[in-house]
Structure 1
Amino acid sequence: MSGVQHRAAVLGSPITHSLSPVLHRAAYAELGLGEWTYERFEVEEAGLAAFLDGLGPGWAGLSLTMPLKRAVIPLLDRVSETAAAVEAVNTVVFTGEGERHGENTDIPGMVAALRERGLGQVPEAAVLGAGATASSALAALARVCPGTVTAYVRSEARAVQMRGWGERLGVHVQTEPWERAAAALTAPLVIATTPAGTADVLAGSVPGRPGTLFDVLYDPWPTPLVAAWERAGGQVVGGLDLLVHQAALQVEQMTGRAPAPLAAMRAAGQAALAARPA
């Protein structure tokens, strides 16, 4: 492979905040892949097809963030069963035959982040929110939670959507209105998938002996809910944990090198976040 350039990148809009270049480049450095580069490109849905069609030889893969995870599906030659289950692709791998294969590393990345903290299985769980990340959370919970998952949502349309995802994924989902979200915090596992600031109001409702909170945010960090959870002695899994594990799987799929260097990637991510303005 020496002397042959291999390119990868993350696409989305907005994209300047993405930590993916930091993580992937750290992996390349640790693995000795000096011929690999990883960039970021601002791409919206309307420009995605043209961007893909304009890629030349040497491209190994792409990471996708919002709003492209669903928009890319009709542009692919194959979509993995995991990605198809939630209609979300966050990884595109280019084959030697020129095909585009879609994968979802968010789901196994979430499972890996939970297992890293000793949560191989939980009896029940709660999910805050009902967006794209919530559907991935349900898919992850299908692997670790045999009991009921209660989703706290803002509208009946979202409730119907989450129950539909549950049926599709084999997860028993019941829904509650967002106004009752404080009740979610008594679950042994709470997965917060809401945008920054949305769950801050729940910080004052953390129980005296909380279980595990998985907050998919990583910037700003800690969130008020996370800070209150830790003060109460609860275990926290963060968005950086998820980001590192899903990126590690991307590195392995794009480069063919495994295992990806998790420790080096996490250290690089932590340093990059620490260097950001408060």
Structure 2
Amino acid sequence: MTRDCRCGGVLGQYSVTYTKTSLFALKGSSVDLPCSYTYPSGYTVGTTVWHNWKYRQYNYEIQHRSEYSGRVEYRGNKINDCTLRIRNLRESDSGEYRFRYETFSHDTWSYIWRPASGGVTLSVIDLKVWLTPTMVTEGSQVNLTCRTISPLSDNPTYIWYKNKQYLQYNSSSWYISSVNCEDAGSYSCAVKGHEDLHSPEVTLTVRYKPKNISVAVSPSGEIVEGSSVTLTCSSDANPAVQKYTWFKKTVASTKAYGQIYSITNISSEDSE
């Protein structure tokens, strides 16, 4: 440790201690940089300042930087606590942070104290979901992986969401061996303890053949000979059905094309 002093004093009684020298936090969350400090008896603490050690010198006071405006809060005191809180974290906040403080005594003698080396290193993590592949045919395999730019500490538990609704707890990787149409949707992940911070969504598209095919008759009920009837065919498919063909069981040839088939001046021969 070294000092920047304006008068004599007891160097050994000055110190800054960082409870954690390495911290990981999620982008968008808040983090506390825990810190404590000491100084000689009979002195009073004046200015307290945190620096981002970006330029390797004590001129980057984050309280006065526009990029930190409204996001930093000194949670410490003028006694021994120098904890700093940073909110709404950005990836650009990653880096080393150092604390310094000024003391003075009753006879106006003063010190500005700052450690010669070391601080607390903050790594801001951005969660992302990798989906391979993003478009599959029903029955295929899919791999989803929740990744971070830097590793999180303490082996975190990952939480998976589908269409913003909780899905399940899982590891960082999730394997679906046989995809069905119900698996289609937008997936995101979060880390336990930060459930309000989701990764950007990634959409899984599942292609499948037509199913649940049905025909609606309008008007319904008994049909009077000579009136008109409209038949509408519907189905569930991805991609959506573009071509419909109409047949009559007792007739080999095609009756019509298109999702809607209209019969005018209906007769008994149209019965089936």
Under TM normalisation by the shorter chain, which class is it?
A: under 0.3
Q: Which has the larger Rg? A: 2
TM-score by length of 2: 0.22
Structure number having the greater strand percentage: 2
TM-score by length of 1: 0.21
Structure number having the greater helix percentage: 1
Question: Looking at both structures, which has the greater relative contact order when contacts are Cα pairs under 8 Å and sequence separation is at least 6?
Answer: 1
